[in-house]
Chains A and B, each alone.
Chain A
Amino acid sequence: MAELAYEETFDCVQCGYCLPACPTYITMEKETHSPRGRINLVKMAAEGKITYSELEGPINLCLGCRACEVVCPTNVQYGTILESAKEFIEENKKKETPKRVKLFREFLFNKTIPNKKILNTVGGGIALYQKSGLQKVAHKARATNVLPENLRTFEKILPNAEGSIKRRKREEYYPPIQRPAFRIGFFTGCVMDTMFSSINTQSIKLLQLAGCEVTVIKEQTCCGALQSHSGETEITKRLAKENIKAFEKHNFDYIVNSIGGCGAMLVEYDKLFAGDPEWANRAKQFAEKNADISVILSQLNLPFEKEINRAVTYQPSCHMSNVQKRVNEPLRLLKSVPGITYLEFPKKDMCCGSAGIYNIVNYNESMELIDEKMKHLTTITPEIIVTTNPGCHLQMKVGVEREGLTEQIQVVHLIELLAEACGVEA
């Protein structure tokens, strides 16, 4: 039985310093949707003063961006408290959930998202919901608040994914161009490798250009982030074990990904197995080897071939800044691109509202968040918004579209910009 992280809630001295950092406190305008409020409610639930179903709303509306952890003067482990609450809510719900909803969740989190074949077949991401018939199941099961409007919104801005044939052709081994700087195991991610597989391809080629030996092992699976955020801890652990086992067979210097959200999950695998005698150490070693691609590329030299004379701003992903704590590397890399004019995104640390599948299940709240972001964006006038995570990427595109700026502002992954400047084709 899941336990709420009750002891951890006592680390909170309720000073409120987290309030201005919390995006949902800003847009939802009440303490209940602030970090301090949520920590207090977890404590209240543990003390039996409120029920798990009363706790559910405030917890589900948390983005999990963890901007609060960065500003907390007493180092409260908000992430741990949040995950415990999600797991607690999920377990209690399962006790009384109709079987068909259980089957749907099982299908989505255990079978579909980790399964490349299914993802490949349907073409990925949001289309997955529609084309696989999941949308219908979801509606029938009322498992999520999925509304046609959400799907239309995201469908409009979906990227042109590489065909599955091209993706299947991906090599397993990319030799270094000279003596390898690092031996790298590349983590492809599932949604990323379906909707944004060209970015993965470009990532690998850039690493290769910068002098790395890159291997894409087949045995890897989903990182487990979406499952973890939904309180499905057992599935998350199973996936994590598969990844750990797969990667420890090889002697990589780093395990590299270009997906901020997955990266955040991977560097915290050790937390998942804290106290587990068999897995704790293995998870720690795995976690320590993981790095975002910007961390590796910023240590090496990229052979830039052309200038990109555009005004560029950067939206750092929460998972990159607040969990992986990689604030400088992506920015340094971005600023090294010849020709660009860098414009600072005002309040750039504020979450865009994407947050895994938050923007699908909490569509209206998510749109309020992105509109808030866009208010700040329009005070500068960039031609390109750079992101480092597919979730943020799609959300920023939605934001740009909602502002009617699709013609003026392009949204790209940092890797795409670097690839263009290095003349790398996907």
Chain B
Amino acid sequence: MINDTIIQLLKDIIKDEKRILTDKVDLYSYSYDSSFGVYLPDVVVQPKETEEVAEMMKLANKYEIPVCPRGQGTSLSGGPLPVKGGIVFDLSKWDNKLIIDAEDMVAVVSPGVITADINNAAIEVGMIYPPDPSSSNVSTIGGNLAENSGGPRGLKYGVTKDYVIGLEVVTPEGEVIRTGGRTVKNVTGYDLTKLIVGSEGTLGIITEATLRLFPKPQANQTLMAVFDDIVDSGRAITNILSSGILPSKLEIMDNATINAVESYEPLGLPIEAEALLLIELDGHPAAIEDEIVRVQQVCESTQASEVRIANTAEEASELWRARKLVSPAIVREKPTKISEDATIPRSKIPEMFKRLKEIREKYHINLVVFGHAGDGNLHPNIIADKRDQEEMHRVEKAVEEIFEAAIELGGTLSGEHGIGTLKAPFMEMELGEIGLDMMKRIKESWDPKNVLNPGKIFPEPGQRLVLTNG
């Protein structure tokens, strides 16, 4: 599909030949992300200007070449994978614009800016950019916008889409449009900004974003609560929130996770406990001083067997250390980590835990659960070895059942990772035939030739979940 003529046309657009990659080793380097599957692109380009993106989209649209926008490839759902070959737009090198406007309380950024850098720049003027995906030190804002990323602070502060008020977007036909603007209130016409955010690169290429900033909370405090019964931990969450306290983070680790961490590095965690909650409050120092005690009381009256409050920043980071060690701890036995983000209504957390336990036993899989319990965004993680085909097939079935359980309980396929290639087969299950068709119609009207990130979100006929690399 891509021949020397196309490469020459790309060179006419991107004058700096170093930013056009065609070597085999380079193509392999952009053939994966943090999920599953290896798909070789035909060429990788590294745009650094809107004009370059627009010209290349015109070219791609004319010759009907697939284009897959990509940030730093931290995606867990396959969002940037070039499943149909074509051109990968590596936008991670386009990081030259990061303007903080303290008066308007916005940041204006180019797509390759690292998300944590936005927050760091905001902090210097006493503000924060609240969304904090765990990959924020690596991931680009463009990738976060495309996937509508979340993070531990989602409970109180929401996800990426809640902070985007304006975008510059290149359409599949190579036109440049602006959506939204610079004001918090903006109700002019359809909300294309929210439509583009989370569209996973299927509707347009984001070339600039205007993001809302919040005042920086003056202080924070952390507490750890241990429960012998996981149902009690669920009740504790509900009771904390209904007592009028909104924590900035509310994380849960189940017994399997606690044990994995403790045997990886002894931190003195309660290995008998069925669950532990890590809770962080932020706000005015006087307010959280009062609230942390009330959280403690709620936990104790909901049968917490132990509650620890961190008195210093060091003690707090010690408590969070357990959560940080989850990743290395759980991959110690087997190397492949299938991290799901099925999300359920908060009230269904205990029920979801029960279902997950059944799934673990039914398929004999190593399943641990942790995640952002405050907003129902659990991360059931299956630890397997992708070289073991038989095991991986069991894992595929287990993952299917996890999704089914989440939807049956009134939840959703994805809380923060996006659909990509991995969850496309389950879309109809959540949205229904007509619901999915309405989304498809939007895609078809924006991108009639289906050049932008084809093979994502919408399942191919008969497509099933596949977790083996091919």
Contact = CB atoms under 8 A, between A and B. Distances in A.
Interface of A: 10-11, 13-17, 19-20, 29-32, 34, 36-37, 40-41, 44, 49-50, 54-55, 57-58, 73-75
Given A19-B138, A20-B114, A73-B327, A14 B34 contact: yes
Contacts of A34: 29
B434 to A, nearest CB: 37
Contact of A40 (B28, B114, B139, B337): B28
B328 A19 contact: no
Contacts of B21: 30, 32
Given A16-B74, A17-B137, A19-B72, A11 B335 contact: yes
Contacts of A10: 335-336, 385-387
B138 A20 contact: yes
Contact of B29 (A11, A13, A30, A75): A30
B162 to A, nearest CB: 25
A17 B24 contact: no
A292 B191 CA distance: 61
A15 B26 CA distance: 18
B335 A31 contact: no
24 contacts: A10-B336, A16-B34, A16-B73, A16-B74, A16-B138, A17-B135, A17-B137, A19-B72, A20-B138, A29-B18, A29-B46, A30-B29, A30-B90, A32-B21, A37-B29, A40-B28, A40-B32, A41-B25, A50-B25, A54-B23, A57-B25, A58-B25, A73-B327, A74-B331
Nearest to A72: B328
B235 interface: no
Contacts, number: 82
A54 B24 contact: yes
Central interface residue in B25, B73, B387, by most chain A CB within 10 Å: B25
A30 B138 contact: no
B327 A55 contact: no
A369 B386 CA distance: 37
B274 interface: no
A20 B114 CA distance: 10
B30 interface: yes
Interface in B51-74: 72-74
Contacts of A36: 73
Nearest to A44: B28
B449 interface: no
A203 B82 CA distance: 56
A190 B185 CA distance: 69
B25 A16 contact: no
A10 B334 CA distance: 9
A31 B33 CA distance: 11
Contacts of A19: 72, 138
Contacts of B23: 32, 54
A29 B93 contact: yes
Q: Ordered nearest first, which 5 A-B pairs have the shortest CB separation?
A: A31-B29, A32-B29, A73-B327, A37-B29, A10-B335
Interface of B: 18, 21, 23-26, 28-30, 32-34, 44, 46, 72-74, 90, 93, 114, 135, 137-139, 327-328, 331, 335-337, 385-387
Nearest to A49: B28
A32 B34 contact: no
Contact of A17 (B32, B138, B385): B138
Contacts of B337: 13, 74
Given A30-B21, A41-B28, A13 B135 contact: no
A41 B135 contact: no
Given A31-B29, A44-B28, A11 B331 contact: yes
Contact of B135 (A16, A49, A54, A75): A16
Contacts of A73: 327-328
A226 B266 CA distance: 38
B92 to A, nearest CB: 9
Central interface residue in B328, B335, B337, by most chain A CB within 10 Å: B335
A161 B85 CA distance: 58
Given A10-B387, A11-B335, A74-B328, A55 B25 contact: yes
A14 to B, nearest CB: 5
A106 to B, nearest CB: 29
Contacts of A40: 28-29, 32
Contacts of A16: 34, 72-74, 135, 138-139
Given A14-B73, A15-B34, A29-B93, 10 more contacts: A10-B335, A19-B138, A20-B114, A29-B46, A30-B21, A30-B46, A31-B73, A41-B29, A49-B28, A58-B25
B25 to A, nearest CB: 5
Nearest to B330: A74
Nearest to A28: B18
Contacts of B90: 30-31
Given A40-B28, A49-B28, A58-B25, A15 B328 contact: no
Nearest to B327: A73
Nearest to A56: B25
B327 A74 contact: yes
A282 B24 CA distance: 43
A54 B335 contact: no
A36 B25 CA distance: 13
Contact of A20 (B26, B73, B137, B327): B137
Contact of B30 (A20, A31, A44): A31
A25 B306 CA distance: 46
Nearest to B31: A40
Nearest to A75: B328
A382 B24 CA distance: 44
B142 to A, nearest CB: 14
Contacts of A32: 21, 23, 25-26, 29
A74 B325 CA distance: 9
Contacts of B327: 73-74
B366 to A, nearest CB: 15
B335 A13 contact: yes
Given A31-B73, A50-B25, A74-B328, A14 B138 contact: no
Contacts of B138: 15-17, 19-20
